[in-house]
A and B are shown apart, each in its own frame.
Chain A
Amino acid sequence: MAISFKVKLTVAIVLAVMTILIASFELVRFQIQRSFAETLREQYERQIQLTQERDGQRLRSYASEMLNNTSSPRLLAALMEEDFSRFYYDLWKEMEAFHRNLDERYAISGAWPFFRFIREGGHYLSPPRYGAGEFQEATDSLPGILSPFPENELEALLKPLRTMEGQATEPRSGYLLVESSGQPILMTVFVCPVSDAFGMFLGDLILLVPWQGIEITNLEMRAAMIVEGQVFNARGQIPVPLAAALAGAFESGLPESLGIADENYLVFSDHPEVGPHFPEVERVVLFSTNEQDRLLAGIRDTFLVFLIVSFGSSLLLGHTLASGLHAPVLLLKRAAEQIGKGNFATRVQIRSRDELGQLGEAFNEMSEGLEMKEKYKSVLSKVADPQVAERLMQGQVELGGETVQATVLFCDIRGFTALTGRLHPQKVIGMLNTHMTTLTQIVHEYGGVVDKFIGDEIMVLFGVPVPGADDVSQALRCAEAMIAKRGAMNADGECPIEIGIGIAHGEMVAGCMGSEDRLNYTVIGDRVNLAARLCSQAGPMEIVLDQAVGAAAGLEFSKGDREFVELKGFENATAVFRLRPQATIV
């Protein structure tokens, strides 16, 4: 079944509203996500910048402190005498600032800051007592000296970092992953080349400080550092699966976002600058998108409510609108159906002023026009033959006339004057009308065209305006039918009327003739006159044909049947045939 226009319109409106709503939600979501990511990136970049500045500042301050401290004559003296216990002792005393918040740092990272010195030439100054020390011991008795790492391992790690010959004596920093009882600990390493007051290079003081991740207040975030493919996170902030995912993703390049166990993170990373001989590191910060997700969920809920409400309202609106359109359309459809059935008086009532209203008006005008045309047609059919009227309305009749081969039949009443003299004129007309109506019906039955009535005479054309296959025989049969009908009518006790018929066939001119504003469709020609003369030659209930009709109808007449008559207006005697059909044959 075809879907109603009303349903289509309603569905279209609802769909449009839904689409707009959903599209705007998507747009809002996209914008929020983008601005969120942008904000986070800004935060991250600012933080990274701050961190870098902080690290740089730390390095500079360490370096200057170092320079200050190592310019301590005692330290230099101890160094020159290679008196390491003296050296480390004095160094520790000089670097008090270095020991602040040790407990906190230890709690966070499991390590504490300490330092080592590598002499120019590569001699690693082992502290007087070494080994994997305890934190308490390290802070109480040998602060800055005792390290949480095995000394030989430390020596192997630190030695390559020293300032080589020809290398610029610039302070530098980087990151090292050092193992302490199987646990990797990330240390930020500052290398400070030290020269004495005479500009003589003494060696590198190397500070190792446990790494601290970036923290941004009010943000859920996790910081990590990836060193040599190993993910290291401060405070154990990154759960094991997340670290594993990071390490896995590291191989193929870090993704932009990472989802672990219902938690989604945006991933930002960069490569901090490190000094020569330090391993490459990647700094990673994961921002939880929980807040964003919560925000989006809230918006989505609001949108859902909107969606439901607008679905209902758009349905209502669509229905109302569609009904408003549908009713007039339905009205027009029904009216059109009426017109189709020929009910041209149908009118539609559309009050709207829009295009539908205009359509209604146009429709009404159209049906008025149709009605008028139909009226004209029926009137025309009354004054002209329906066939001629049809042709005239179709504009197929040439006004100038055309030469055609046609058959003309004249039929008049014998002894009409005598007949009418006996009767009341009213009755005569009634009788005449009945007679003519009957004959006209017969003419139409045989495809003839009633040209005109002339008193008691009827003039009929065959072959014009539309040529038929056998116009002549039709004319003949028509004539026979006329006589038969008349005979039958006479037998029925009506006022007996006898008729005579003349038929002629041949070339004549057909067309509309008359004055400019009043025309008659008729034929003119010598054959027409002949037919009229033949009619007057016919006796009661007789048909007189000319030779052409007889031949064309295929009738065979013996020579005896043929007679020659002198006709008025015709020079020579004309051969005619006289038929007397059985009046009773109907």
Chain B
Amino acid sequence: MFRLLLAILITFGSSIALAGELSGVVDLRPPKERRSVVRYAGGDAAELGPSAPFVGVVYLTQEGLQAGSPPEEPAVIAQRGLQFHPAVLPVSIGTKVAFPNEDNTYHNVFSYSPEKRFDLGRYAKDEAPPLVTFDQAGEIRIFCEVHEHMRAIVLVLDTPYFTTTDSKGNFSLKDVPPGDYTLHVWRLNQEGHTEPVTIGDGQIGLKIE
């Protein structure tokens, strides 16, 4: 693998490409069946929809590399069909996240994670809860106080280079400046993975078990 990388480096290293592309497949275990529990009596007006997959996150870190200024636009985790969409959201430090309620029922989004404790309280479809700014790196577990099965993860990263896999584990990270990085893979309930990777101006294909 390393030799291949070396060969690629030697072949394309001299070209004047500005960015490289990293792609590959992350092995994702199929998620467990969830049961849906409505904690409070009275029934729910909203119908249970399909859940978003707990996809993997692939990101690169480098000595001295920081997230930089966060994007202006807030990221979004919507509550739709009594599910969080998406279930996994990687953001860079300082990113604001909106939690809009698209169901005809109340939701109460909260987190006890030490990196970001917040509780938005109950709110209905048309109410706009305050944006939550994630200003500390870490894995923030998001729950809904009303619906036990609703889970989401906000992965706050101190790097601008990250992406999610699709539900099958395929990922592609583009526009990464060439250099030596450490590649990290985050998966729910599965061991993480790190490996050094050198980005040139070509494409790298990885297969991560």
- Which of A's residues lie within 8 Å of B, judged by CB? 68, 71-74, 76-78, 80-81, 83, 86, 196-200
Contacts and interface: CB of A to CB of B under 8 A. Distances in A.
Q: Which of A73, A74, A76, A77 has the most CB of B within 10 A?
A: A73
Interface in B111-149: 111-114, 141, 143-145, 147-149
Contacts of B150: 73
B34 A198 contact: yes
Nearest to B119: A74
B39 interface: yes
Interface range on chain B (Cβ under 8 Å from partner): 20 to 34
Contacts of A196: 148
A200 B32 contact: yes
A81 B189 contact: no
B39 A81 contact: no
Nearest to A70: B148
Contacts, number: 55
A113 B37 CA distance: 28
B73 interface: no
Most-contacted residue by chain A among B32, B114, B147, B148 (CB, 10 A): B148
A197 B148 contact: yes
A386 to B, nearest CB: 134
A195 to B, nearest CB: 10
A78 B39 contact: no
Given A73-B148, A200-B189, A80 B141 contact: yes
B36 interface: yes
Contacts of A77: 110-113, 141, 143
Nearest to B111: A77
B148 A83 contact: no
Q: Which 8 A-B pairs have the closest CB atoms?
A: A73-B143, A77-B112, A197-B149, A81-B112, A71-B148, A198-B32, A77-B143, A197-B148
B39 A71 contact: yes
B36 A197 contact: yes
B111 A197 contact: no
Contacts of B3: none
Contacts of B144: 73
12 contacts: A71-B39, A73-B148, A74-B143, A74-B145, A77-B111, A77-B141, A78-B112, A81-B114, A83-B114, A197-B36, A197-B149, A198-B151
Contacts of B36: 197
B191 interface: no
A86 B35 contact: no
Interface of B: 31-37, 39, 110-114, 141, 143-145, 147-151, 189
A72 B112 contact: no
Contacts of B147: 73
A97 to B, nearest CB: 16
Contacts of A68: 39
A386 B141 CA distance: 148
Given A74-B143, A74-B145, A199 B32 contact: yes
Nearest to B114: A81
Nearest to A71: B148
B177 to A, nearest CB: 36
Contact of B145 (A73, A78, A86): A73
A554 B33 CA distance: 153
B41 to A, nearest CB: 12
A136 to B, nearest CB: 30
Nearest to B108: A73
A199 B34 CA distance: 7
A74 to B, nearest CB: 6
A72 B39 contact: yes
A81 B113 contact: yes
Contacts of B32: 198-200
A86 B110 CA distance: 14
A198 B37 CA distance: 11
Contacts of A78: 112
Given A81-B141, A197-B149, A200-B189, A74 B35 contact: no
Contact of B33 (A71, A74, A199): A199
